[in-house]
Chain A
């Protein structure tokens, strides 16, 4: 089997028994886990809906425009090919889904056919046309192949398979209004191919109603630079901007992590990691939601206590393990110790002894904890909204505000203080708008009574007769600088201008609002990790996540070879005896690798062999051939791993290809 290339697995009879026994032994512990996984699916389903909704919303505007553009494109007798330049941003991973979605909408909503061409399948004009023709003509009925064959036989000269006359014949039956050709990754196309294609399409334009869409990762200008003046004249372009992936990620973040509906909260460290990766490497929405999904999967797969996140959980569905697990949580211990300090020993005893008591407590605490976390999320959103509304610089995205809030760093931070200061300074017209804007946030309306402030403000504004907005006492315009020279020294002094009655009243109003808001933030921005049962509510582990998404295969291989005791255990590799020295009980490949590390860019195999055989050579002819076999195997493995390469510089030498840790 091992040398067969592809085959369907067939079990060997001998294997069957132990495998089965293993499976049955595991089933008893499987019960609660499948329960947890069901909970996961239930919760993730909601999350997925939120993600999908925000994604649809994001692309909707652009796609609407594009669909409209396509449907309104002039069908024939146009001088130029109608062209849409879709600036889709640098993240090529999101282009595919975008155009796929767009294509579905175009075919569904308009009377057009849609074809996507990619750079890899169009190395030259001929292949491009072949692909285009097969894609267009096989789009509808099945008998197309037949049809082409028959028509070629009956009508005139035989057509080559890259002749657009095929499309013309197909189109002549009045199938579609226009043919939309999408060049998905225009940067991947050779510019000559593009120029030739445009030229050809233009010459067919009186017969075939083409509409071109170019997916552009850079900018419309650089795309134009690649085309000749002639082909530019043949195009009638319009630009469409697609929402960039970092904006989408911000929106998704708002919908998923910072939402006030999530059951399982992601931790700040994990989110920071995911967002950083997003920024630095992938820029791909799919990957972002995968990251969050995998985090919840890990939580429910491995954490016994995660079962308590199941909505409407009944006491009887649980087994004792879950309670035992909760009693071992650090936050449980912390709570118990606190309660002992307070002297409520009976309750602690109950918590330890009675599962039913603990169950009620957990359910209640989880409800409260979730509320607190939702309040935190809401407050982070409010803060981000206020900052955006006031156009404060630097503009801090919601994600970073949230991460700081969730790490409990926001209270007393310059960011919050600065925001609060600028709130005290806003004039009345802006305040009215701000209050209006904040109304949408349910998180704040529960704490701060916005309507009373609005009423007061309206009253105040009505009572004034000027159209000038009211200003608070902290506004800079109400202050003036005065310089006086006393005994050859310059003194600077601030003077408050005299406030009008209305301004005074306004200052009081805004002072109240400010205090109210401050109280709200102080209440909401707790340190979530200090919450009781935070281990259930928050998932913030780095280890499986980092490995699963950002593997370091080179490091893993180097580590396995350089210090095999990490994997095989130290006693079998005999390392502890002598620090730093090579131990002969390590695997042969590891030994050769460590010798390899010590050598220069060229390695003499003969000397390497001498070193190796002197280290772990065995006596006798038989022993030597055994050592040689190990040595040869080690060399072959290093070659497979790409660490060694044959060289012609010297006989019996090999070239070193990798330096450890680079």
Chain B
């Protein structure tokens, strides 16, 4: 908002120049009619017009007006009668209207600003757009008026050129100089200045109206689904493979150091870009090798136990973590406490009373995953890690992970941090396709796309499948009727046209989807269901799985549709028909 104001302030000198001229001419006209009243009236009008900032200009305007009055009117009267009205009409007529429009726009924008300030700053994109539109309008208006007044001014000057007194010419030149001064300021650099400091860049990019992005949409079929993604990745050969392996080897050289740090009672936290699973895997192997050559395991069948926890795996709970740790120090028959806190204190007591021959190594991948960072989990893990018989090596992926721990927890963890940038891809940590779909908010992909729907349908009774088939075929028929006027035989062209207007498909406008009543009757005709209650139950099942969406259209009739694009619908219909036959 600040910058919006500033913008306006910037514009003032520019707009004011022509206005001054206009005012002067206006004043002249008025003077012709009535000499006495003008100054006072003009002042009042100006004051009403807008607030303080114009006051300086006003004064100068008055001065100009007063200075200009007598000689000009005389001269005009004498010499320029024929040309005057025509010329003066244009500058007088149009600019005034423009100025009014301009003023009302400004008032409007002011009102907008105030409203927004009152309603809170959660400015939607709509507001932004409106503001942009408004700004554009104002700018274009200004430019128009400027142009017209410029022309007028030029013409004025041309016309007046011969009879003008030196003083007036001086004023004309002044105008020019002001304009020249004003012009460069108006030029806005299209791209941000290079080498801005980060915080300046933040404010530059977050300025209101600063974000201008195109309305291009990504065609839906260009995003790969799971199968396509894995197929593509399988054939992909990483050009950086040797370097990444070298990095990994570098980290591997530090393993002995890490073991030494473990021995001295520290825990280790690895951070940096890239999946750190390769490192933790190697380290687990390393520590396993090392331990199996030491006393309790050397010549026995016992194997050292290294606990590995994949924090990124969905649904990892602290209880599972603690149970796994407990399984290393107790026999499998002992009954463990149920609550995590009790379990933790049980483990800690066990470790204190009969300390194991060596500290239990625990490796946690992604300790900053959403599953391990919520609730009490960090503090439980911290008190586990604080025990001298526990060696914890964990990895953290996000850039701001140290914020998870306050001073107290940090003291308990006793972490040493190591940069373990690997550049390895996060294969296990993320489901690429899923998270991209989530990022783009593509509905219908939520349940795992077409395959997901098929999967859900398989588990539903026959009737439900039939109902869904009806819905899909009906929707397809509607789309085909809509989209392809001439040639429904060419699905490829159709598909392309649909893809380009893909927004239509998902948003579900009134033409899309089947009316609730129609679907119900079809279903009854096909003996899918006998009554409305049964029909509703079936629909609810679909709704729960997000397989259908419903909306009331402008007429108030409820419409149902399957949130898929055309090509997916076709595939679905094929699958369903195969099932039915």
Contacts and interface: CB of A to CB of B under 8 A. Distances in A.
Interface stretch (A324-332, A374-382, A394-402, A644-652): A644-652
B161 interface: no
A195 B440 CA distance: 50
Given A8-B305, A293-B264, A560-B273, A641 B232 contact: no
B369 to A, nearest CB: 10
A469 interface: no
Range, interface on chain A? 35 or more
B427 to A, nearest CB: 8
Given A606-B216, A625-B228, A646-B441, A2 B417 contact: no
Contacts of B240: 568, 572, 587
A164 interface: no
Contacts of A567: 243, 247, 421, 423
Interface stretch (A58-66, A153-161, A433-441, A653-661): A653-661
A489 B431 CA distance: 91
The 5 A-B residue pairs with the shortest CB-CB distance in the complex, in nearest-first order: A551-B417, A629-B232, A661-B198, A554-B399, A560-B273
A549 B210 CA distance: 40
Contacts of B423: 560, 564, 567-568, 587
Given A7-B308, A628-B232, A651 B217 contact: yes
B232 A626 contact: yes
A281 B411 CA distance: 12
Given A297-B261, A556-B419, A283 B435 contact: no
Given A93-B411, A548-B418, A4 B310 contact: yes
Contact of A659 (B201, B313, B320, B408): B201
Interface string B218-230: 1000111000110
B229 A622 contact: no
Contacts of A6: 307-310, 316, 320-321, 323-324
A385 interface: no
A632 B324 contact: no
A19 interface: yes
Contacts of A633: 233, 425, 432
Given A11-B285, A15-B285, A607 B408 contact: no
A37 B260 contact: yes
B261 A626 contact: no
B354 interface: no
Contacts of B236: 626, 629-630
Nearest to B283: A9
A628 B224 contact: yes
A453 interface: no
Contacts of A561: 273
B272 interface: yes
Nearest to A90: B407
Given A96-B408, A632-B433, A551 B271 contact: yes
A636 B324 contact: no
Nearest to B315: A5
Interface string B410-439: 111010111101010111111111011011
B288 A11 contact: yes
A20 interface: yes
B214 interface: yes
A652 B261 contact: no
A636 B312 CA distance: 14
Q: Specify which of A625, A632, A654 lies most central, judged by the most chain B CB atoms within 10 Å of its CB.
A: A632
A648 B122 CA distance: 13
A132 to B, nearest CB: 14
A358 interface: no
B324 A8 contact: yes
A9 B308 contact: yes
Interface in B301-359: 303, 305-310, 313, 315-316, 320-321, 323-324, 327-328, 341
A121 B340 CA distance: 13
